[in-house]
Amino acid sequence: MIQRILSSKNFVACLLAAVMGMALYFKLPFPAENAFLQLMALQAPFVHEGLFYSYNHFLFTTPYIAYLIVLSGPYVFGLTLHKKIRVGELPPYPEATQIYHVDDFKLKTDAHDDHRDRQDPHEGGRGNPHGDLSQSERDWAFAKLALARGDDPEEVIRRIADYRGDEKDDPIYYARLTVMKTQAQLEKGSDGAQPETA
């Protein structure tokens, strides 16, 4: 029973405030006989009316706030104090079965990366001596992955153009060309080398 009353503390506070407000309304009515208030009624009737209604309003709202504060204490401490939070045990940490190296985390963007990694740096060609990807190749790989997972081509164009905006004279044209060539290759289903980009 106590728990139900405390759970509906807003309703109980409202009922108690209504009873207290009515008692205060008759016990402490608005002091209309006050000379200052009578002068205010003559000089500024709207201010006097506002003060009158505010006074009566506070006769009800002040007890409501007070009762709400009083009932919130038992609600917070009485209802929640005895609830115990049970923490479950974490599963044991799995044992490591393999040691990983830096090369295990290398990102492969396409099947032709294997050929590039095995390429002799002195053979020339488009790859740099360390086998790293150029920024154009990374843009192409990004476009290929994004389009393959179903991203909107215009959004892919916008992202590439934003990223390459400082490096290209016309980043929108470059990005659109990259995405168009990537789309064409994806539609053909070819896994050949990356097409040339601007």
Looking at residue 195, its pLDDT comes to 53
Looking at residue 127, its pLDDT comes to 47
Give this prediction's pTM: 0.37
Using pLDDT thresholds of 50, 70 and 90, give the confidence band for residue 123: very low
Q: What is the pLDDT of residues 173-191, one digit of tens each?
A: 999 999 999 988 888 875 5
Q: Report the C-alpha gap between 75 and 81 in whole angstroms.
A: 9
Collapsing DSSP states into helix, strand and coil, what is residue 5?
Answer: helix
For the chain, what percent of residues have pLDDT higher than 90? 16
Residue-range domain boundaries for the chain: 2-80, 133-193
Q: Please give the mean pLDDT across all residues of the chain.
A: 78
* Residue range 137-149: mean pLDDT, rounded: 89
**Angle between helix 135-148 and helix 153-163 axes, rounded to 10 deg:** 160
Q: What is the pLDDT of residues 127-136, one digit of tens each?
A: 454 457 788 8
